[in-house]
Amino acid sequence: MKRYARSVLAVVAVLALLIGGAGISGMPTAAQGSGSLTVLDWAGFDDEQFWIDFKNAHPDVDVTFEMGASDADILAKMMAGSQADVFHPYTGWLQFYVEEGLVEELDTSRLANWDKVPERFKELGQFDGKQYFVPYDWGYSSVLYRTDLAPEAGDSWDAMFDPAYSGHISMWDDGVAAVDVASQVLGLDELNLTEEELDKIQQLWIDQRELNLFYWSGEPELVEAMASGDVWVAYAWQGAYALLRAQGVPVAYANPEEGRHSWVGYYGIRAGTENLDNAYAFLDGKLAEETARNVVETFYYGSANQDVMASIDDPELIDVLAIDDPTVLDRTFFSPAISAEQRDAWAEMWVDVKAS
Amino acid sequence: MTTQTPVAERAGPSAYRAGAGRPTRRRLRLDRNVTFWGLVIPPSVWLALFFLVPLVLIVVISLRPDLRGGVLAGVPPTLDQYQTLLEKPAYMRLFGTSIAMALGVAAAATALAFPIAYFLAFRAGRRAGLFLALLLIPFWTSFLLRVMAWKVMLGSGGVINSFLLSTGLTAEPVAFLLYNRFAVVITLVYVWTPFVALPILAGLQRIDPTLFEAAADLGSTPARRFWRIVLPLSAPGVIAGFFMCFIPTVGEYVTPLLVGGSGGSMYGNLIQDFFTKAANWPLGAAMSLVMLAGTLLFVALAIRLINPRRLVG
Amino acid sequence: MSEPATAQPRAPKRIPVLGGYYALLIALLYLPIVILVIFSLNANQVLAFPLQGFTWQWYAQALANPTAVAAARNSVLVALGSSVVATALATMVAILVARFSFRGKRLLLSLAVLPLIVPYIVLAVALLLLFAALDVNRSLWTVGFAHTVIALPYALLIIVARIGGVSPFLDEASADLGADYVTTLRRVVLPIIAPAILAAWLVAFTASFDEFALALFLAGPDPTLPVFIYGQLRFASRLPMLISLATMVMAGTLTLALVADRLRRRS
């Protein structure tokens, strides 16, 4: 028995050493320095370059990232009681945090870089006249197509439903985006959809499924498939466009006659956070020069810092973000603020499309 | 496990038959009792804490109308989510499809794995350990990246199609190997075969080689020896391998996402959607529990058909 | 390994069908990895033919990224820890199942096998809730705990398949020779099932090393390799760097396996 116990002990000791070493380095050192900060963010944004100004100003703060896979995922985690101090929703989802009392009202005088934000972006983060969110990144959703394989695809969202491209279309795997696009194609008012109209939208996508090769969920998946020639026409953000162009793949990013869609990413502070000062500093850091520039140069996203945007002289970036086209914004739809009922109904509609 | 009664009296299949050596018996009995508790406590506590309690949490969530107020909020339980599921026959159909796919995958993987296990057990000799490791090491490379590599191979501009087009064997790129339900099944069989080989191998290794000699001495043919010795004695391993593949495949969602295309979704994808894309954890939880119950029922029926004792020996 | 068929004179001529089959499967398993190696040396950000020239830059990029290197190390630590614990627990359950009869035996067995059936995403959410309720910070520990739960059933099925064939009479013989029960387990039962334990450990390690769904939810500030890769993969421009990282991990593990085999054969 003794010897057996000893060998068990030995195993346990080795184990403790093994994971212990990892655990100690993995343990948040919340007690020391100037505190900690937990950020609930999309994968990719945990990279240091997207909060480098905050890091440089507050090297002692222990920053932890929680990952969200989608707007719905981030909202679900916040509603389930996530202790993240700062979180990153996009337009169309902001109002839920206000309605559920999950977000702290902001005192913009605590943000040194606030005057660099264009008025339009500020407004989208306001509810009942109060500022709740700070904008960081923005971009487009439109039709991306291979000019050699589908040269005629460019004028309309209809290309996503065109049997001529059967087996070579790829839609983003997202219910809200699906309703956005379908409402435009069918000429419906998406904020006042009747049940019959939503059924019509569902049927449109069920029919489209026969033409659709796959629903993409990560950009690399789409980029590889378009580079290989499997996908000719896709719902895409401008990042995929920029990357494919840089690789010499013949692609164009449409200006559909119905207009482009646009989205803006915001950061909010969780109501009741214990790390309020760090949270403000983090949000302010998001607007600072280097952090703003990195998101433009790495992801080909727009930044909410207008000084940074004005200083961009790379013609590639100017073209991709349509910075030089004053009319593009007039033909751009910012994702509207939907209600919780719409959100759930649309998400369910999309699951049903895939299940049918 | 707290209901455990005097173990020693009932313990052991044959250790207590009348015989010599009383003192040894008594010591053994005491020993076994101590050992029993030493063996039973760690896994029970571990599983209770890290599996049973979380499972209860999922049940609790499935009885909530929504996530409002956080997980531990005191909301009166409701069966709303289960009601919603009853109104969605498409979901249940997809569950049936997933079961059928999992059966196919498990059957194919078991059939393909058996010769591998046989090779490792009887033909690989001293290098069997290395051969076994070689079989598993590819799985330490990111699945995501490996599937991407396959897509590059099989896609329209990939190696295989370039070859087919340049030789004039086909005029159009061949596309059936990607983005459909068939591709999901193929990929899963590919992924599972090496794993299913393991329990089969464990089963084969316990066959006493002298049995072969005895059978040969009695004039049995190799084929007959295979049917009468190898197959029956490896049955527990084969069954274990089959279910080790079948059960998780029912709830699979990553592979359909990667190679299934628009029409290749499985039931697990719906669950995943309700957790990560639709902000509806309660419905996702209810669907998981339905799946859990359905799969368990299915396995229980299957085990009853096969005769349970052979699994445990 | 035994060579049963050679023990008798009328052995038919052996055609290496099985060996060939094994080799074919190995080739299929390693083919995508060969492709990845090729692309990791290709001077193009997108994985597509034709190749565009040779470069080491992706490797340099990966090695210069401290998070990437740390992520690989974290995955090794978590996989080592969780696989050892899972195998130990599985061995305990297997012995209980094969050698003891007690009330709750079926319950324990089903509880240990049940994690197979729960979708990882569900287990991930459930464990996230548990750790939140217990006020435990997420870290490599929490990922490791989760991985023991998912690896346990695999290990158990493998060990049970072997231990079922060990005759209980051996226990009795050992007892008659004066061994106490623990000694019997240690000197008789464990050595016989050792190959299965090793295979079970290998599977447990494999189940953890590339596991993503649970790790994404439960990892704290230190990512494991798949979580790191997922984060970087949101944007396609990072792909080649990740592939070179995966290639290095692969090369490392293959070398280890070959060295271990060489050492074992020499001794």
DSSP track, A216-246: E-SHHHHHHHHHHTS-SEEEEEHHHHHHHHH
One domain for residues B40 and B92: no
In a domain, A228, yes or no: yes
In a domain, C236, yes or no: no
CA distances from A98 to A279, A343, B285, C73, C236 (A): 17, 15, 26, 41, 34
Rounded Cα–Cα distance for residues A125 and A107 (Å):
13
Q: How many CB atoms lie within 10 A of CB C4?
A: 22
pLDDT the model gives residue A32:
40
User: Which chains does A contact via 3+ CB–CB distances below 8 A?
Assistant: B, C
The domain in which residue C153 lies consists of 77-209
In a domain, C5, yes or no: no
In a domain, A11, yes or no: no
CB C201 within 8 A of CB B48: no
One domain for residues B99 and B185: yes
**Is the confidence at residue A20, as pLDDT, over 60?**
no
CB A113 within 8 A of CB A305: yes
One domain for residues A171 and A294: no
Which range scores top for mean pLDDT: A126-130, B180-184, C160-164?
A: A126-130
In a domain, A239, yes or no: yes
CB contacts < 8 A (A, C): 115
pLDDT the model gives residue A28:
40
In a domain, B149, yes or no: yes
Say yes or no: C231 contacts chain A, CB-CB below 8 A.
yes
- Cβ distance of B179 and A72 shorter than 8 Å: no
Closest Cβ opposite residue B279 in set A72, A81, A350:
A72
Higher-confidence position of A259 and C30: C30
One domain for residues B93 and B231: yes
One domain for residues B24 and B151: no
Tokens 């078991």 sit at which residue? B110
In a domain, A14, yes or no: no
One domain for residues B161 and B250: yes
**Å from A318 to nearest chain B CA?**
31
**In a 3-state reduction of DSSP, which class is residue A51?**
coil
Tokens 């445990």 sit at which residue? B312
User: Residue B51: which of C109, C130, C90, C84 has the closest Cα?
Assistant: C130
Among chain B residues, CA nearest to A205: B262
User: Residue C89 maps to which CATH number?
Assistant: 1.10.3720.10
One domain for residues A247 and A268: no
Burial of C224 (0-12, 13-18, 19+ CB in 10 A): buried
pLDDT the model gives residue A110:
94
One domain for residues A229 and A310: no
Q: Where are the alpha helices (DSSP H) in A215-326?
A: 219-228, 238-246, 276-287, 289-299, 306-310, 315-320
Residue ranges in chain B modelled with pLDDT below 50: 1-21, 308, 311-313
Say what percent of chain A tops pLDDT 70: 89
In a domain, A10, yes or no: no
Please state, rounded to an integer, the average pLDDT across all residues of chain C: 81
Q: What mean pLDDT comes out for the span C90-105?
A: 88
Please state, rounded to an integer, the average pLDDT across all residues of chain A: 85
pLDDT the model gives residue B24:
56
Min mean pLDDT across A108-122, A234-248, B95-109, C85-99 is at A234-248
pLDDT the model gives residue A105:
95
Per-residue pLDDT of A341-355, as tens digits, reads 898 899 999 999 999
> For residue A37, which phi and psi values (nearest 5 degrees)?
-150, 130
How many distinct structural domains can be found in chain A?
2
One domain for residues B92 and B43: no
Chain C residues closer than 8 Å to B254 by CB: 212-213
pLDDT the model gives residue A2:
45
**Is the confidence at residue C45, as pLDDT, over 80?**
no
Positive or negative, the CA dihedral A172, A176, A180, A181 is positive
Establish how many alpha carbons lie within 13 A of residue B37's alpha carbon, considering only the half-sphere containing its beta carbon. Answer: 10
pLDDT the model gives residue B26:
58
In a domain, C84, yes or no: yes
pLDDT the model gives residue A352:
93
Among chain B residues, CA nearest to A228: B157
Per-residue pLDDT of C205-244, as tens digits, reads 888 988 888 888 788 778 888 888 877 776 666 778 888 8
One domain for residues A110 and A184: no
One domain for residues A238 and A278: no
- Which letter does DSSP use for residue B111 in this model? H
**Å from B194 to nearest chain C CA?**
9
One domain for residues B10 and B146: no
Say what percent of chain C tops pLDDT 70: 90
**Å from C78 to nearest chain A CA?**
7
In a domain, C111, yes or no: yes
User: Which chains does B contact via 3+ CB–CB distances below 8 A?
Assistant: A, C
One domain for residues A311 and A236: no
Closest Cβ opposite residue B262 in set A213, A229, A343:
A213
**Is the confidence at residue C137, as pLDDT, over 90?**
no
Contacts of B144 by beta carbon, 8 Å cutoff, 6+ apart = B258, C212, C226, C229, C230, C233
One domain for residues B103 and B216: yes
CB A40 within 8 A of CB A68: yes
In a domain, B272, yes or no: yes
User: Residue B95 maps to which CATH number?
Assistant: 1.10.3720.10
Q: Pairing mode, if any, of strands A62-68 and A36-42?
A: parallel
Q: How many whole angstroms from its chain centre is CA A230?
A: 25
How many distinct structural domains can be found in chain C?
1
- Cβ distance of A228 and B178 shorter than 8 Å: no
Contacts of A302 by beta carbon, 8 Å cutoff, 6+ apart = A137, A138, A139, A296, A309, A321, A323
CB C24 within 8 A of CB B115: no
pLDDT the model gives residue A29:
38
One domain for residues A208 and A349: yes
Per-residue pLDDT of A96-115, as tens digits, reads 999 999 999 999 999 999 99
One domain for residues A326 and A342: no
One domain for residues B92 and B238: yes
- Is the ipTM higher than 0.85? The answer is no
Per-residue pLDDT of A36-92, as tens digits, reads 899 999 877 888 889 999 999 999 998 888 888 788 889 988 888 888 999 999 998
Please state, rounded to an integer, the average pLDDT across all residues of chain B: 80
Q: What mean pLDDT comes out for the span A297-325?
A: 85
In a domain, B75, yes or no: no
**Å from A220 to nearest chain B CA?**
10
Rounded Cα–Cα distance for residues B13 and C98 (Å):
9
- Give the torsion through C-alpha atoms of B66, B67, B70, B74, to 10 deg: 20
In a domain, A182, yes or no: yes
Tokens 């080799």 sit at which residue? C23
**Is the confidence at residue A231, as pLDDT, over 70?**
yes
- Cβ distance of C84 and A27 shorter than 8 Å: no
pLDDT the model gives residue A281:
95
pLDDT the model gives residue B69:
66
Tokens 């070493």 sit at which residue? A21
In a domain, B197, yes or no: yes
- Cβ distance of B21 and C1 shorter than 8 Å: no
pLDDT the model gives residue A168:
93
pLDDT the model gives residue C264:
67
The domain in which residue B27 lies consists of 1-49
In a domain, C123, yes or no: yes
One domain for residues A131 and A146: no
The domain in which residue A145 lies consists of 141-260+337-355
In a domain, C183, yes or no: yes
**Is the confidence at residue A134, as pLDDT, over 90?**
yes
In a domain, B63, yes or no: no
In a domain, C251, yes or no: no
Q: What mean pLDDT comes out for the span A210-218?
A: 90
**Is the confidence at residue C123, as pLDDT, over 70?**
yes
**Å from A150 to nearest chain B CA?**
15
Q: How many CB atoms lie within 10 A of CB C85?
A: 23
**Rounded to 5, what percent of chain C is helix, strand, coil?**
75, 0, 25
In a domain, A3, yes or no: no
Among chain C residues, CA nearest to B33: C181
**Is the confidence at residue C163, as pLDDT, over 70?**
yes
In a domain, A7, yes or no: no
How many distinct structural domains can be found in chain B?
2
Closest Cβ opposite residue B142 in set C10, C202, C226:
C226
One domain for residues A190 and A290: no
In a domain, C90, yes or no: yes
| Ramachandran sector of residue A92 (left: φ over 0; alpha: ψ -120 to 50; beta: rest) | left
- Which letter does DSSP use for residue C42 in this model? B
One domain for residues B118 and B211: yes
One domain for residues B32 and B84: no
pLDDT the model gives residue B21:
46
One domain for residues A121 and A54: yes
pLDDT the model gives residue B176:
67
User: Residue A125 maps to which CATH number?
Assistant: 3.40.190.10
- Give the torsion through C-alpha atoms of A270, A273, A278, A283, to 10 deg: 10
Say what percent of chain A tops pLDDT 90: 50
One domain for residues B30 and B92: no
**Å from A277 to nearest chain B CA?**
25
**Is the confidence at residue C10, as pLDDT, over 70?**
no
Chain B residues closer than 8 Å to A175 by CB: 277-278
Residues 261-290 of B with CB under 8 A from A: 261-263, 265, 269-270, 273-281
Among chain C residues, CA nearest to B4: C103
pLDDT the model gives residue A15:
43
pLDDT the model gives residue C11:
45
In a domain, B60, yes or no: no
Assign C178 a pLDDT band (cuts: 50, 70, 90). confident
One domain for residues A162 and A105: no
pLDDT the model gives residue A329:
64
